[in-house]
Amino acid sequence: MMYQKPLAVAITLACSLSSFAALAASASSKATDTFDEVLVSATRVSEKSSGSSRSVAVMDEQQLATQQPQSVPAALKYEANIEADNGPRASAQGVSIRGLSGQRVVQTIDGARQNTSAGHRGTYLLDPELVQGIEVLKGPAGSLWGSGAIGGVVAQRTKSASDLLEEGQQLGGYARAGYADNGQQLSTSAALYGQGGDAQWLVNGNYSDGDNIELGNGQELTNSASRSQGGLAKVDWQLTAAQQLTLSGRSRTIDELVPSNPAANASRSVPLVRRNTTDNNLTLGHRWAPADSSWLDAESTLYWNQTSYDEERVERGQQDQTDFDTLGFSLVNRSTVAGSLLTYGVDGYRDEVQTVRDDSGQEGQRPANLDGEANTYGSFLLARLPLGASVALEPALRYDHFSNKSHNLNAESSDSAWSPSLGASWQTRPWLTLSARYDEAFRAPSVEEMYSSGSHYCIPPIPGMLPGGMCNTFVPNAELQAEEAANKGLKADLRFAQLAGDDELAVTLDLFRNDVDQFIEQQVYDPLMGIPGFEQHTRWVNVDKARLTGFELDSRYRINATRVGLALGKTKGEDRSDGGALYGIPATKAVFDLSQGLWQEDLTLGTRVTYVASQDQVPADNAVADYDSYALWDLYLSWQPAMGSLSDLRVDLAVDNLTDRYYRQAWQTLYEQGRNARLGLRYSF
């Protein structure tokens, strides 16, 4: 019953804002422009955020430059109900949306799915320096993206020459240097870009090197140093007035000495490894959109991803390797028929995973090598049907067929899934849009979850207690079912201007309830550890019936060169089978942001305060009964003259966790980074 209060507050706030907006409407019905971002990839249609019935968050290049994040997940941590999890090591961080993370969130880069899943290893491997923008779709999106999108979608877009070239410019470039005092991290990046004839091109290279991270208590997080290098090459050809071809190649390597689970400290069960991570990608895209055609606006993408983790277990000198390859395609077309927009297409991908686990000195005590593949093919149809001038329906349906195969166990399985959705939007006033949605989604089990075998871990002999030692072994589960989600959502979007002069106000409120069945979890069986004949086993099984309920409030206001933002998010997780709390549900978070532009906005000064409430809604068997609340204070400054001899120079200064707070997020093992001052200098030519 206690949870009724936040929802009641949110509903009351929405009603109050509606009343306020009604009074303000007489001032102006002009829609806001500053805060109305255009979505280009996450929803698979080009639309403004105010016109989308889905809950979205957008980070543009200006925000990324000011924030100077050290990972893509870190760039999203100030958004309502989005967390950067897995601790402070940047290479290990992931994205949690409304309490769901990992394989339950689809990640894309330039429209290409990033399906890598390799145990505790990080999978958000794109260097933030290459990112032009990020779009996040919160909540299930199975009708758009198929398997995995039960928590949401993180769509990243890399830089292109068209983003950087000024009007009339044929050749340009930039050089950037950055320094972070926490960990003494030095980063450099340089790019050349240009255009000639019918082509535009860009080449970028980057390098980063940092030492151990310092926590808020003054101690170092051992084995958190990291070195990376990478680059991006992209060419856009304008084949005809209606057709464009894009070819891009991307590569990055990361070298670290870290625990095998970088979200934890090294220990007897978490050995130290020298890890070299290599991530390569090739993407070929084609756009065909004749200006005089209402039925043809087609985008096709062919992509190849390869991610390799080469590891040396330091104590024993064992050499391990994990290779994950994806070959995928998508074809999407948009047609306008009798005023209705139809978006339809097909896509598919093959994931191949191979692992080598060296058991030298531990014969029979390591996981068996994994050699498998997963194939998924789907088709979908999304329609936007206007019912009059102010009401629209958005029905959608997707069908997927998926299969898993283990070559080493000579086993395979297959299944299929339908993912329907229905949205409705009503623009009640020029400044107010109300939306309601119902979305279903699924996540197919992975090859690792279905077909892992061999030893999970072993306990060495203990004289007098366990003279022969004991091993926990994996048990394959070919009967594992796909996770399923059904989400109901309500959204109110208010956008208006000229309330008190040159100003704009945007307020978005989302309410949601996401029911997730057939949760896949790793469980240990035969718990009488230490008694010969009662050895343990591990396998993945379908368990919880989860219910995730909550709300998000995102409000932004600008008057002249002053900006104010407030983001508030709360999620409650409940096991529907017994009413208990769920693991991994984020604590309530509020973020207040205030900035002021000076000197005709050449200079921006800002401050940000993040408050995270305590999290005491935890399962009875959780090791921590209550995660403490904390507040963080950040400062930031950006300077880029619009004219004059220094107009090609940009300076960004950010200080995170100014008070050097010693804290950790709910559910995490490691404490987070202490005070971190970052300076970025960029010169363009």
Largest CA distance in the chain: 84
What are the two backbone dihedrals, phi and then psi, of residue 373, each rounded to the nearest 5 degrees?
A: -145, 155
Amino acid identity for residue 480 in this structure: L
Q: Which of 400-409, 578-587, 600-609, 647-656 has the lowest mean pLDDT?
A: 578-587
Give the H or E element holding residue 16: helix 4-24
Q: How many other CB atoms are there within 10 angstroms of residue 237's CB atom?
A: 16
pLDDT tens-digit series, residues 577-630:
888 899 999 999 999 999 999 999 999 999 999 999 999 999 888 889 899 999
Interatomic CA distance for residues 332 and 382, integer angstroms? 11
Give the pLDDT band of residue 431 (cuts 50, 70, 90). Answer: very high
Q: Which of 13-17, 323-327, 415-419, 539-543 has the lowest mean pLDDT?
A: 13-17
Interatomic CA distance for residues 93 and 125, integer angstroms? 9
Strand partners, 48: 38
Residue bearing the bigger pLDDT, 637 or 496: 637
- Angle, CA 379 vertex, CA 373 and CA 380 arms, to 5°: 135
Give the pLDDT band of residue 254 (cuts 50, 70, 90). Answer: very high
Average pLDDT of every residue of the chain: 92
DSSP conformation letters of 163-232: HHPPTT--EEEEEEEEEETTTTEEEEEEEEEEEETTEEEEEEEEEEEE--EEBTTS-EESS--EEEEEEE
Average pLDDT of the residues in 653-679: 97
Q: Pseudo-torsion of CA 120, 122, 124, 130, nearest 10°?
A: 180
Question: CA dist 508 to 16, 58, 529, 548, 627, Å?
Answer: 13, 13, 52, 20, 29
pLDDT given at position 1 = 38
Give the pLDDT band of residue 457 (cuts 50, 70, 90). Answer: confident
pLDDT given at position 313 = 95
Class for domain 4-684, per CATH?
A: mainly beta
Give the pLDDT band of residue 234 (cuts 50, 70, 90). Answer: very high
Q: Integer distance in angstroms from the first to the last C-alpha of the chain?
A: 60
Interatomic CA distance for residues 420 and 435, integer angstroms? 17
pLDDT given at position 500 = 92
Around 601, how many Cα atoms within 13 Å sit in the side-chain half-sphere?
7
SS3 assignment, position 102: helix
Is residue 270 scored above 70 in pLDDT? yes
Which DSSP symbol is given to 87? Answer: -
**Is the CB of residue 48 less than 8 Å from the CB of residue 105?**
no
Q: Which two tokens stand for residue 133?
A: 């923008």
**Among the listed residues 677, 641, 634, 635, the one whose alpha carbon sits nearest the alpha carbon of residue 657:** 634
pLDDT given at position 3 = 40
Is residue 122 scored above 60 in pLDDT? yes
pLDDT tens-digit series, residues 282-295:
999 999 999 999 99
Q: Pseudo-torsion of CA 235, 236, 240, 241, nearest 10°?
A: -160
**Among the listed residues 192, 292, 196, 290, the one whose alpha carbon sits nearest the alpha carbon of residue 237:** 196
pLDDT given at position 490 = 98
Average pLDDT of the residues in 323-327: 97
Interatomic CA distance for residues 400 and 478, integer angstroms? 19
Interatomic CA distance for residues 34 and 506, integer angstroms? 9
Interatomic CA distance for residues 404 and 478, integer angstroms? 9
Q: How many other CB atoms are there within 10 angstroms of residue 29's CB atom?
A: 13
Interatomic CA distance for residues 591 and 57, integer angstroms? 14
Is residue 441 scored above 60 in pLDDT? yes
Give the pLDDT band of residue 466 (cuts 50, 70, 90). Answer: low
**Is the CB of residue 224 less than 8 Å from the CB of residue 213?**
yes
Interatomic CA distance for residues 145 and 348, integer angstroms? 10
pLDDT given at position 31 = 52
The single residue listed with the structure tokens 């998926």 is: 402
Average pLDDT of the residues in 630-647: 94
Q: Which of 119-123, 171-175, 403-407 has the lowest mean pLDDT?
A: 119-123
pLDDT given at position 533 = 53
Is residue 10 scored above 50 in pLDDT? no
DSSP conformation letters of 19-70: HHHHHHTTT--PPPSTT-PEE-STTSS-EEGGG-SSEEEEE-HHHHHHH--S
Give the pLDDT band of residue 685 (cuts 50, 70, 90). Answer: very high
Average pLDDT of the residues in 415-430: 96
pLDDT given at position 526 = 64
Amino acid identity for residue 45 in this structure: V
Interatomic CA distance for residues 434 and 432, integer angstroms? 7
Is residue 532 scored above 90 in pLDDT? no
Amino acid identity for residue 375 in this structure: N
pLDDT given at position 6 = 46
**Among the listed residues 350, 215, 352, 301, the one whose alpha carbon sits nearest the alpha carbon of residue 675:** 215
Give the H or E element holding residue 516: strand 503-517
pLDDT tens-digit series, residues 336-353:
999 999 999 999 999 999
Q: How many other CB atoms are there within 10 angstroms of residue 46's CB atom?
A: 11
Interatomic CA distance for residues 366 and 457, integer angstroms? 7
pLDDT tens-digit series, residues 39-62:
888 999 888 888 899 999 999 999
pLDDT tens-digit series, residues 59-91:
999 999 999 999 999 999 999 999 999 999 999
